[in-house]
């Protein structure tokens, strides 16, 4: 599979699938530029070679042509981030887009209108993909966040190009996940948290042969604790997944993977930041209380495992970190991972809640890599081949 460094873009137009599905405020101003920053190295490489990038992306989930989802709202922000004024085409296919692309000079950038204004994008329509392919000489996919979808711009369009490659962002995502899943360095530790076992079961089963330690935290831990005979009060639980939890413990033993479950929890009566809380043994939570965070003994136990790890995957928080009183477990985990990284460990953070927590508490700059694609990353961890990546082979 080729990467962007395999090409010199001098005199070429590169049609790049980027993921500029960025948050906008009521005034249609971009409130978080991280996705644009993530694509910047790829865009700059093409510009510096003497090429012309044509950018295509979706924004939101429009029902047809909705003005509030127009990419024209983000054109000036892209210009500011890249340092080159961006031209805007009012459609992503058709005569206007083609003539603007044709007139593009080396060093200029063209941004196409929202791909999802056309239903054919999500349908993976071949004619629509062919129309997009007319706008460039080389196809570059740099949108990891959409690589798990077989859409026209992420997968089908690649069929129309001899020259196609990964951009820097996509390459870094694939390499980072490969480093976790196929590491020669040991020990490898996966921290899997969040609310439900059911949403992470395929991930856990796929990574067990590749890891040495599995830390289970967050709401999903209570299903394991109850399955082993613990009293969890009114804590979140998936009663129908207790057998599954026990089978994961058995599979872990078969793969010589050590499972680390919480020892204590910070429990309260109501799902609120306001009420009183107390630290309790996680296997003996009073009937009227629910656990909302990892307790102090658990934080120490998990930190000790992280400290000896060479490769760390963090997917899911250890508590309801959005509430100040129940964020300490997740903060302690973030600190432990940051310290291990500073001492030479490789750490990958991925999944919506983990990334939010890492950013909220300032750990995003203290880990090795923060993944930009929640769904795409989970599918790779599940062992699936992403259509957007396979299309580049």
Spatial CA neighbour of 88 closest among 80, 39, 13, 78 = 78
Which one of 352, 359, 360, 374 is the catalytic residue? Answer: 352
DSSP 296: H
Cβ pair 273, 220 in contact under 8 A: no
Instruction: Tell me the binding residues for substrate.
Output: 19-21, 35, 58-61, 116, 149
The secondary structure of 33-86 as a DSSP string is -HHHHHHHHHHHHHHHHT-EEEEE---S--SSS-GGG-GGGGHHHHHHHHTSPE
Instruction: Tell me the binding residues.
Output: 19-21, 35, 58-61, 116, 149, 200, 291, 322, 351-354
Check for a shared fold between 4-169 and 183-381: yes
Decide if domain 4-169 falls under CATH 3.50.50.60: no
Active site residue 35: yes
Spatial CA neighbour of 318 closest among 193, 190, 173 = 193
DSSP 6: G
Residue 93, CB half-sphere, CA atoms under 13 Å: how many?
19
Question: CA 26 to CA 275: how far, in whole Å?
Answer: 34
Asked whether the bond before 145 is cis by omega within 30 degrees of 0, the reply is no
Q: How far is CA 278 from the centre of its chain?
A: 34
- At residue 190, the pLDDT reads 96
Residue 329, CB half-sphere, CA atoms under 13 Å: how many?
35
Active site residue 374: no
Walk along the chain (393 residues) and give the pLDDT tens digit of each residue.
899 999 999 999 999 999 999 999 999 999 999 899 999 999 999 999 999 999 999 999 999 899 999 999 999 999 999 999 999 999 999 999 999 999 999 999 999 999 999 999 999 999 999 999 999 999 999 999 899 999 999 999 999 999 999 999 999 999 999 999 998 999 999 999 988 888 888 899 999 999 999 999 999 999 999 999 999 999 999 999 999 999 999 999 999 999 999 999 999 999 999 999 999 999 999 999 999 999 999 999 999 999 999 999 999 999 999 999 999 999 999 999 999 999 999 999 988 689 999 999 999 999 999 998 878 888 888 888 899 999 999
- Provide the total of helices (H) and of strands (E) in the chain, helices listed first: 14, 17
Q: Put the strands of the sheet holding 52-56 in their side by side order.
A: 86-89, 109-112, 52-56, 13-17, 138-141, 164-166
Cβ pair 298, 263 in contact under 8 A: yes
Active site residue 251: no
Measured from the Cβ of residue 196, the count of other Cβ atoms closer than 10 Å reads 16
Spatial CA neighbour of 341 closest among 179, 216, 171, 208 = 179
Domain locations along the chain? 4-169, 183-381
Alpha-helical (H) ranges within the chain are 34-49, 75-82, 95-103, 119-123, 126-133, 168-181, 201-207, 221-227, 242-254, 296-307, 328-342, 352-360, 374-381, 387-390
Decide if domain 183-381 falls under CATH 3.40.50.1260: yes
- Give the 3-state secondary structure of residue 131: helix
Which one of 12, 17, 35, 299 is the catalytic residue? Answer: 35
Which one of 2, 40, 122, 196 is the catalytic residue? Answer: 196
Cβ pair 78, 84 in contact under 8 A: no
How many residues would you count in the chain?
393
Active site residue 335: no
Question: CA 300 to CA 263: how far, in whole Å?
Answer: 10
Question: CA 391 to CA 133: how far, in whole Å?
Answer: 14
- Give the 3-state secondary structure of residue 342: helix
- Give the 3-state secondary structure of residue 343: coil
Instruction: Tell me the binding residues for (2R)-3-phosphoglycerate.
Output: 35, 116, 149
Cβ pair 143, 19 in contact under 8 A: yes
Instruction: Tell me the binding residues for ATP.
Output: 200, 291, 322, 351-354
- At residue 175, the pLDDT reads 93
Question: CA 39 to CA 129: how far, in whole Å?
Answer: 22
């Amino acid at each position: 599979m080729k990467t962007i460094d395999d090409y010199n873009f001098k005199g070429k137009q590169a049609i790049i699938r980027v993921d500029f599905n960025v948050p906008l405020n009521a005034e249609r101003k971009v409130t978080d530029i991280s996705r644009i920053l993530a694509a910047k190295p790829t865009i700059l490489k093409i510009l510096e070679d003497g090429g012309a990038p044509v950018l295509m992306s979706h924004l939101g989930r429009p029902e047809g042509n909705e003005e509030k989802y127009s990419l024209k709202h983000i054109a000036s922000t892209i210009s500011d981030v890249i340092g080159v004024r961006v031209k805007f085409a009012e459609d992503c296919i058709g005569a206007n887009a083609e003539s603007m692309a044709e007139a593009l000079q080396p060093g200029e950038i063209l941004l196409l209108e929202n791909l999802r204004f056309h239903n054919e994008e999500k349908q993976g329509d071949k004619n629509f993909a062919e129309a997009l392919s007319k706008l460039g000489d080389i196809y570059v996919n740099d949108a990891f966040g959409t690589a798990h979808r077989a859409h026209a711009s992420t997968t089908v369009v690649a069929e129309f190009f001899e020259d196609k490659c990964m951009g820097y962002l996509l390459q870094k995502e694939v390499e980072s996940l490969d480093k976790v899943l196929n590491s020669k360095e040991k020990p490898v530790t996966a921290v899997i948290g969040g609310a439900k076992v059911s949403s992470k079961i395929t991930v856990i089963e796929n990574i067990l042969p590749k890891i040495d330690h599995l830390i289970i935290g967050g709401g999903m831990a209570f299903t394991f604790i109850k399955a082993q005979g613990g009293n969890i009060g009114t804590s979140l639980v998936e009663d129908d997944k207790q057998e599954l939890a026990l089978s994961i413990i058995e599979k872990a033993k078969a793969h010589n993977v050590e499972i680390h479950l919480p020892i204590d929890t910070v429990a309260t009566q109501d799902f609120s930041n306001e009420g009183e809380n107390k630290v309790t043994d996680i296997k003996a939570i009073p009937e009227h209380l629910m656990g909302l965070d990892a307790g102090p003994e658990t934080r120490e136990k998990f930190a000790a495992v992280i400290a000896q790890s060479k490769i760390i995957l963090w997917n899911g928080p250890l508590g309801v970190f959005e509430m100040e009183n129940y964020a300490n477990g997740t903060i302690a985990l973030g600190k432990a991972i940051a310290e291990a990284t500073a001492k030479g460990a490789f750490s990958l953070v991925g999944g919506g809640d983990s990334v939010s927590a890492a950013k909220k508490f300032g750990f995003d700059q203290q880990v090795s890599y923060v993944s930009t694609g929640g769904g795409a990353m989970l599918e790779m961890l599940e062992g699936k081949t992403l259509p957007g990546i396979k299309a580049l082979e």
